[in-house]
Amino acid sequence: MDVVRVFRILSEKPMGRILLMKESGLGEANVKTMIKKLREHGFTKDSTRGEVLTEKGKGISDYLKRKVSRTFRVRISSISKKPTVALIVRDASERVKMGIEQRDEGMKMGVNVTTLVFQNKKAKFPGTKEVVRGLEGLEVKDKDVIIISSGRNAKEAERGGIAAVLTLI
């Protein structure tokens, strides 16, 4: 999940290790290891401006941008009172069974994850007709999946949400 965040950060601009640590919220050892692995796989390279995505890395980044929305804060009191974020996964509803896989990935990260599918212009719990209110105004289309993740803070919620998203892409 951290690698997804790093791809997103580096897609915006090249940056050095120290700034990448600040932007991602990761420690020095994690960032060093991630950069090493990304370089080994040909996704990034070193430049005078810092770490930069290669064409191969840009391809992954572009795919992620097309498939997964940015993380954004939401308030849905019926789901959680904790800091909550949402991510939209485009055209992924057929990959959702009951949302258990996404919930379990969130639990591994210490957060609560709720999976919603968007059908007939309404957000619903998978396998039910129960409509969830409070998500009006989102740019969502039929067959999209909305991952709602709640944690102690927004960063923790985002990490858990990304972990859940990875089960769908």
Nearest to 76 by CA among 11, 143, 33, 138: 138
Q: What are phi and psi of 73, to 5 degrees?
A: -75, 140
Q: Name the CA dihedral angle for 74, 5, 155, 70, rounded to a multiple of 10 degrees.
A: -10
Quick check: helix, strand or coil at residue 87? Answer: strand
pLDDT at 79: 78
11-35 burial code (b ≥16 CB/10 A, e <16)? beebbeeeebbebbebeeeebeebb
Q: Show the domains of the chain with their CATH numbers.
A: 2-66 (1.10.10.10), 68-165 (3.30.1360.30)
CA-CA distance, 34 to 22, in Å (whole number)? 14
> For residue 144, what pLDDT band results from cuts at 50, 70 and 90?
very high
Q: Is the pLDDT of residue 136 over 90?
A: no
Alpha carbon 119 to chain centroid distance?
A: 21
Quick check: helix, strand or coil at residue 150? Answer: strand
pLDDT at 132: 84
pLDDT at 112: 95
Segment 19-49, tens digit of pLDDT: 999 998 889 999 999 999 999 999 999 999 9
CA-CA distance, 77 to 83, in Å (whole number)? 10
Segment 92-118, tens digit of pLDDT: 999 999 999 999 999 999 999 999 999
Q: Is the pLDDT of residue 88 over 90?
A: yes
Q: Is the pLDDT of residue 86 over 80?
A: yes
User: Residue 115 to residues 67, 139, 146: CA-CA distances in angstroms?
Assistant: 16, 16, 6
Q: Is the pLDDT of residue 2 over 80?
A: yes
Q: Is the pLDDT of residue 138 over 90?
A: no
pLDDT at 118: 93
The whole-model pTM stands at 0.84
Q: Is the pLDDT of residue 137 over 90?
A: no
Q: Is the pLDDT of residue 66 over 90?
A: yes
